[in-house]
Amino acid sequence: MRTIQASDSNSPRTKYDHAPRKTPWLPPILLLLVQVLFLLAPAQGSAQGQDHALPNQPSKPVQEEIKLGMTAGFSGPIREISVDLYHGAMACFQRINRQGGVHGRNISLVVLDDAYTPGPAMANVVHLVEEDRVLCLFNCVGSPTLTRVLPLLTHYSQEHVLLLFPFSGAEPLYASIHSGSIYLFRPSYDRELRDVIDRLLQAGRTRISVLYQADAFGRSGWQSVKTALKERGLAMVSDGAYARGATFESSFLSQVETVLAGKPDAVVNVATAGSASGFIRDLRRSGSCLPVVSISSVNAQEQYRILSTLSARDDRDYLVGLVNSQTVPFFNDPDLAAAIEYRAAMAEETVGPPPFLATQDYTPHDMSPTGFEGFLAAKLMATILEKLGPEVSRATLTSRIADLGPLDIGLARPVHFTTMNRIALHDIHYIAFDADGLIPIDDWNLGHCP
């Protein structure tokens, strides 16, 4: 493990079986009407392939192949998270399919783009559930989108539709887990941020400022920091907000000015990779060497790509003093079985980006913490399917997922869901950056600004 200083980061290959589809555009009024009707009317579907479970009767499999459904922002400000998560999951599924699948059935992933926008995300969920007849929703991405999807899970409760392992730490998801419709893979953003605050205080940093996205996701993170500091007898010294959709190319000069006005000794980013990197760029150009901690909503590999490129161009080290929290172990761990398997899968499988994502706008990372999370979530999904047996259905998945016992996916401890525990992982990990990329850290030595 490394310590960070603030002053110093033969098998055949398979292609996609299902090409991701982009959601068709609907006029806003029509889209609103559609959403209201979906929420008020009973779910519709063809008579063939319906998955309603009758009392005391076994439910039929949803389809011959096991179809999972994913809605994510493959366009817009979080496309690098969506693609990396998809890459990791697909590498796992393709590897399993080449080895015979699960009980002889291939796993496929039906993907729709919601552009990180709530309306399309809701429409996508309806399509995945009613038209594609997916077994469950899996690996969906985005706090503002998934928060709006929650009422649809209630609407589809009689259809036994589960939301499994979304990439979000939003509090509404965690507050809803005891509904029985949601199982989560990662700790919440609140859990992350409380751990971040504890680490900063242990490092002697007590004057904390926050950069946050001005929406439910960002405000929830802002509140978590405020509450954590208050419980420790401290207060946030300043904050800066930016609009959702801001990118690296956006100016963050006003946010830098607002943050620095509070004379902080550390900044916490509740942001996405592009916006976090843009803020760091303008912060460093202002002359500040303050340490900056970004949570796992920031794709660390994308942040490294952006800032290392900028460092080479400007002859300035933009990676100095950065720490990122993660909800999965380090993907390059030489001894962790799951990490070894992930690296092998990413080397062996051909997994490209969704075809509607312009390659000149985004080049997928070979490996990343986000990709590793997607891989682990997919391995957990496959392990669950294996334990459920060949006759899997929405109803059997819903009724038995909490009773499967320990699930070994190659981590230090097995995952064990129960009716009282619907979260797979609970630990927070940290990485920093050097010239060669990402490095795991245990102890924080953040140094001092001159």
What mean pLDDT do residues 412-436 have? 95
Please check whether residues 33 and 163 belong to one and the same domain.
Answer: yes
Please indicate, yes or no, if residue 55 is contained in any of the structural domains. no
The pLDDT score that the predictor gives to residue 10 is 33
105-117 pLDDT, tens digit per residue, is: 999 999 999 999 9
Q: Is there a domain that residue 418 lies in? A: no
| 36-50, 242-256, 284-298, 403-417: least confident range | 36-50
What radius of gyration do the chain's Cα atoms show? 22
Residue 214 placed within a domain:
yes
The answer to whether position 413 is within a domain reads: no
pLDDT at 208 over 50: yes
Q: What integer pLDDT is reported at residue 207 of this predicted model?
A: 98
pLDDT of residue 332: 95
136 & 29 share domain? yes
Instruction: Report the pLDDT value the prediction gives residue 446, as an integer from 0 to 100.
Output: 66
User: Does pLDDT of 184 surpass 80?
Assistant: yes
Could you tell me the CA-to-CA distances from 138 to 88, 129, 183, 329, 377 in Å, in that order? 13, 12, 10, 21, 9
Segment 302-327 mean pLDDT:
95
305 and 375 inside one domain: no
Determine what percent of the chain is predicted with pLDDT higher than 70. 82
Do 197 and 162 lie in a common domain?
no
* One domain for residues 236 and 268: yes
Domains in the chain: how many in total? 2
Please indicate, yes or no, whether residues 240 and 352 belong to a single structural domain of this protein.
Answer: no
Q: Are residues 143 and 214 both part of a single domain?
A: no
Residue 318: which CATH number? 3.40.50.2300
Q: What is the pLDDT of residue 180?
A: 87
Q: Which three-class secondary structure string do you get for the chain?
A: CEEECCCCCCCCCCCCCCCCEECCCCCHHHHHHHHHHHHHCCCCCCCCCCCCCCCCCCCCCCCCCEEEEEEECCCCCCHHHHHHHHHHHHHHHHHHHHCCCECCECEEEEEEECCCCHHHHHHHHHHHHHCCCCCEEECCECHHHHHHHHHHHHHCHHHCCCEECCECCCHHHHHCHHHCCEEECCCCHHHHHHHHHHHHHHCCCCCEEEEEECCHHHHHHHHHHHHHHHHCCCCCCEEEEECCCCCCCCCCHHHHHHHHCCCCCEEEEECCHHHHHHHHHHHHHCCCCCCEEECCCCCHHHHHHHHHHHHHHHCCCCCCCEEEEECCCCCCCCCCHHHHHHHHHHHHCCCCCCCCCCCCCCCCCCCCHHHHHHHHHHHHHHHHHHHHCCCCCHHHHHHHHHHCCCECCCCCCCECCCCCCCECCCCCEEEEEECCEEEEEEEECCCCCC
Same domain, 26 and 167: yes
157 plus 302 within the same structural domain = no
Residues forming beta bridges with residue 70, ordered by sequence position:
111
Question: Partners of 432 in the beta sheet?
Answer: 439
366-420 pLDDT per residue, tens: 899 999 999 999 999 999 999 999 999 999 999 999 999 999 999 999 999 999 9
Domain that holds residue 203: 190-329+429-444
Q: Supply the angle between the helices 79-98 and 337-348 in degrees, to the nearest 10.
A: 90
Name the pTM for this structure: 0.84
